[in-house]
Structure 1
Amino acid sequence: MNQSTLQKYAMLLLCMSAGMVDLIGYLGLGHVLTANMTGNIVLLGIAIARAQEFVVLRSLLALIGFIAGNAIAAHMVGPVQTKNGWSSKVTAVLTVESILLLLFAIAMISPFSEQLSYLLIVILAVAMGMQTTAARRIGIAGISTTVLTNNLAAVVEDTVSILKKLRHANIRSLAKALSTDSYLRAGAVVIYLIGVIAAALLFRREPMIAVWIPVLIIGGVTLYVRLHAWGTSQQSES
């Protein structure tokens, strides 16, 4: 598998993990969103209006954690933009995210998960903030792994463009003419939804298993990228 294809599949898997994490946070940590900050800010506003102190605290912790994750990842990646967007520094960010998700999963299955709920919100939000910055730096097809609104808007724009072209082309030729980015943007929305549905079904029956899926996804992507980079460097040296 070439590097470009690897990155595209990895981005879709990051979208799936974000959908699962949002669902786990919402159902398992007191109806808080730790990946989608647009929705979280809406929940924060509602909680403030209704004077729901504990909901306000949870939403604020998620927001602060997400911002902290953005800042940490931005510091790790630095200002230099690599040609393909996926540098060793981006992989390092995803490695730290994998560790945070691992710590989250371990704490969630421990007897102290309820007492640690606020800390768990922060850990999950920091991990998602780091992933968001990493995905922005990779910059494939304008996909954001945690902001579904941007992805959905891009799909709608692609659809409008398709409808305009339908006047001058048949469906088969149009399908061939569509860019890979168009398919990726649509895939990002669909796979995010699949992640939410899968996590909802699994969390209802086996919540302690559900929390490990994002760990396996992010950890697997990170490990594969590292092995691929190592294999490529070995080939270039030989």
Structure 2
Amino acid sequence: MTAAAYRNTLLSLLCLTAGIVDVIGYLSLGHVFTANMTGNIVLLGLAIGKSLQVTVFHSLTALIGFIVGVIVSTIIVGKAEKTFWPSPVTKALAIEAFILFVFACLSISSAFVPVYILIILLSIAMGIQTIAAKRLGIAGISSTVLTGTLASLLEDLSGRLFFSKQNKTFLRDAVLRALAIILYCVGAMIVAFAEPHFHYIIIWAPIVLILGIILTALTKLQKVK
């Protein structure tokens, strides 16, 4: 595999991770999204409109956590040099992995841990990942913002369909955007199938994925200019 293929694969795996984390949060933490803030804001609006106080606090906690994660990640990677795989991106992912590890450990004794702590841990991790992935600058993909990714994909496909000059070329960006959406959905499906019977196992899956991404980045991409 070329360095570009490795990098594109790692970005795709970040999308898979986000799908897994989002559904873990939705199924286990009171039906709240911790990665997809568009859906979370919609749930927040519905909860406020129907005076569902618990749901309001859950959604607000996720939103605050995500904001914190974005700020932290921006501080880490915001001024990183535009290299093939900036080292601050790896540092940000390492922090994300640690936060997910803390979440997994606390989930074991979740009966004694306030749900708000678990929500904020997952949402901070996803905020960090969103900016770290976006900093790679690949097809405008940030691993959690699927609406924009879907719109860009449809724009690409429409352009090739209706404008003959674009029909001859199948752009890499369109493939990556489609793959990002598919893998996010696959991550959600994995948790939906596994969560009822393997709850305390599936929560470790995103940690393993992030650690694998970090290891691959360090060994295959960190020195690529």
Per the normalisation by structure 2, the TM-score is 0.93
Aligned to 2:19: 19
Trace 1:1-238 onto structure 2 (pairs within 5 A): 1-84=1-84, 86-110=85-109, 112-113=110-111, 115-165=113-163, 174=168, 177-229=169-221, 232=223
Deviations 1:162-217 (Å, cap 9, x if unpaired)?
21256996xxxx4xx21111111111111111111111111122111111111111
Aligned-residue Cα RMSD (Å) equals 2.0
Gaps spanning 5+ residues in structure 2: where? none
Instruction: After TM superposition, give the deviation of residue 80 of structure 1 in Å.
Output: 4.1
* Higher Rg: 1
Report the alpha carbon displacement of residue 114 of structure 1 after superposing the two structures with TM.
Answer: 5.4
Consecutive unaligned residues of structure 1, counting only runs of 5 or more, are none
Give the direction of change, closer, same or farther, for the CA distance of 1:141–1:167 in structure 2 (3 Å limit).
Answer: closer
TM-superposed CA distance for 1:135, in Å, is 1.1
**How many matched pairs?**
225
TM-aligned CA deviation for residue 229 of structure 1: 4.7
Query: Which SS does the other structure have where 2:51 is aligned?
Result: coil
Structure 1: which 4+ aligned runs deviate by more than 2 Å? Answer: 78-81, 112-116, 165-169, 227-230
> What SS does structure 2 have at the residue aligned with 1:55?
helix
* Change over 3 Å in CA distance of 1:152–1:214 after alignment to 2: same
